[in-house]
């Protein structure tokens, strides 16, 4: 059993639904600490991954990294079961960094598409709602199997109807009936806002540099983006950085499609955030899976 499967269960869904963020989050964090206390092999793996990347890997730094992983799963539970509180957090507990939304407004005004190159850092499960809460419609690529996808789609419809949010279209790569690459291209060709992660290791990934080390990633995003220019698509790496137990800051870096290695630029943006907030890089507990190619 992994930390994710340990925490993502019906009793915890009920717990998070019943309790506000202030009271529910500490209970999930306590469960996570207890899990790691009884699974030293997983703690050792996280420590080894941190050390491999040249990051502090013991003491308070290791404790913070483990807590960051658990916080990520709390946020996943939260977004699955909360209604008004989720929208309220997205609107009232998120600072927008200066200029972070300007490229999206520019794209809207000029009819350009937007590609949001996401990654496994920070409060990713709240990130799309932060944009929806400010009126943006987004198509999000990911794995949304079964009840998870049904719940997210139902929540999205309810948020739009009750709270006036933008809409999110969930493009499910785990559903063989969906033509996800085709849908991605359509969004970029028709001025939509498309979100997908760049740091997963799959059959389309290549060796990439992160913090001076080699990882395998890219997820083939360069194969999609090479069809477009800056005149048609605005490219951003968005980050929702935790600034406290219940506060966040939304940041974006802009990238040019004229770059010879745009995915490398994405990784540089990620590396800068990891250096500032290593405890928020929750991918650290799976990093070993990105160290060898998938072919």
> Could you report the per-residue pLDDT of 188-211, keeping only the tens digit for each?
999 999 999 999 988 888 999 999
Predicted local confidence at residue 295, as pLDDT: 61
Beta pairing partners, 255? 235
> Could you report the per-residue pLDDT of 75-130, keeping only the tens digit for each?
999 999 999 999 999 999 999 999 999 999 999 999 999 999 999 999 999 999 99
- Reported confidence tier of residue 146, pLDDT bands at 50, 70, 90: confident
Predicted local confidence at residue 64, as pLDDT: 98
- Reported confidence tier of residue 175, pLDDT bands at 50, 70, 90: confident
Tell me how many degrees the CA angle 198-93-249 measures, rounded to the nearest 5.
40
| SS3 of residue 194 by DSSP | strand
For residue 201, tell me if it sits in a domain.
yes
Average confidence (pLDDT) over 23-37: 98
For residue 222, tell me if it sits in a domain.
yes
For residue 184, tell me if it sits in a domain.
yes
Q: Which residue from 88, 105, 99, 200 is spatially nearest to 143, judged by alpha carbons? A: 200
Q: Encoding tokens for residue 220?
A: 């083939």
For residue 33, tell me if it sits in a domain.
yes
Contact 13, 80 (CB under 8 A): yes
Give pTM, 2 decimals: 0.95
| 3-class DSSP string for 158-188 | HHHHHHCCCCEEEEECCCCCCCHHHHHHHHH
Predicted local confidence at residue 118, as pLDDT: 97
Contact 126, 79 (CB under 8 A): yes
DSSP character at residue 57: -
Q: Which structural domain range is residue 101 located in?
A: 3-290
> Could you report the per-residue pLDDT of 251-275, keeping only the tens digit for each?
999 999 999 999 999 999 999 999 9
Contact 218, 202 (CB under 8 A): no
- Reported confidence tier of residue 160, pLDDT bands at 50, 70, 90: very high
Which contacts of 210-213 are long-range, i.e. CB under 8 A and separated by 24 or more positions? 210/53, 210/267, 210/270, 210/271, 210/274, 211/53, 211/54, 211/55, 211/271, 211/274, 211/275, 212/54, 213/52, 213/53, 213/54
> How does the average pLDDT of the chain come out, rounded?
96
- Reported confidence tier of residue 187, pLDDT bands at 50, 70, 90: very high
- DSSP for 133-147 reads TTT--EEEEE---HH
Average confidence (pLDDT) over 179-188: 94
pLDDT at 172 over 80: yes
Average confidence (pLDDT) over 15-39: 98
For residue 295, tell me if it sits in a domain.
no
Predicted local confidence at residue 62, as pLDDT: 98
Give the chain's domain count: 1
Beta pairing partners, 197? 118
């Amino acid at each position: 059993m992994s930390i994710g499967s340990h925490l993502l269960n019906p009793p915890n869904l009920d717990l998070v639904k019943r309790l506000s963020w202030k009271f529910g989050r500490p209970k999930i964090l306590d469960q996570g600490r207890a899990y790691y206390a009884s699974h030293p092999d997983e703690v050792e793996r996280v420590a080894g991954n941190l050390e491999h990347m040249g990051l502090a890997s013991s003491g308070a730094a290791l404790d913070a990294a483990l807590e960051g992983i658990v916080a990520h799963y709390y946020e996943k539970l939260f977004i699955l079961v909360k209604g008004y509180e989720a929208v309220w957090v997205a609107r009232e507990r998120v600072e927008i960094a200066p200029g972070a939304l300007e490229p999206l407004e520019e794209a809207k005004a000029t009819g350009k598409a937007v590609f949001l190159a996401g990654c496994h850092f920070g409060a990713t499960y709240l990130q799309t709602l932060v944009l929806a809460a400010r009126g943006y419609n987004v198509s999000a690529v990911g794995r949304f199997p079964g009840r998870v996808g049904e719940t997210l789609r139902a929540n999205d419809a309810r948020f739009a109807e009750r709270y006036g949010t933008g809409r999110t279209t969930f493009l499910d790569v785990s559903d063989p009936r969906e033509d996800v690459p085709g849908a991605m291209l359509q969004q970029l060709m028709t001025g939509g806002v498309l979100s997908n992660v760049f740091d997963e290791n799959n059959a389309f990934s290549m060796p990439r540099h992160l913090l001076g080390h080699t990882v395998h990633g890219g997820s083939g995003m360069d194969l999609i983006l090479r069809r477009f220019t800056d005149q048609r698509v605005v490219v951003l790496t968005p980050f929702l950085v935790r600034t406290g137990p219940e506060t966040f800051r939304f940041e974006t870096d802009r990238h040019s499609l004229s770059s010879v290695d745009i995915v490398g630029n994405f990784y540089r943006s990620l590396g800068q955030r990891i250096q500032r907030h290593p405890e928020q890089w929750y991918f650290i507990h799976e990093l070993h899976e990105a160290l060898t190619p998938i072919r």
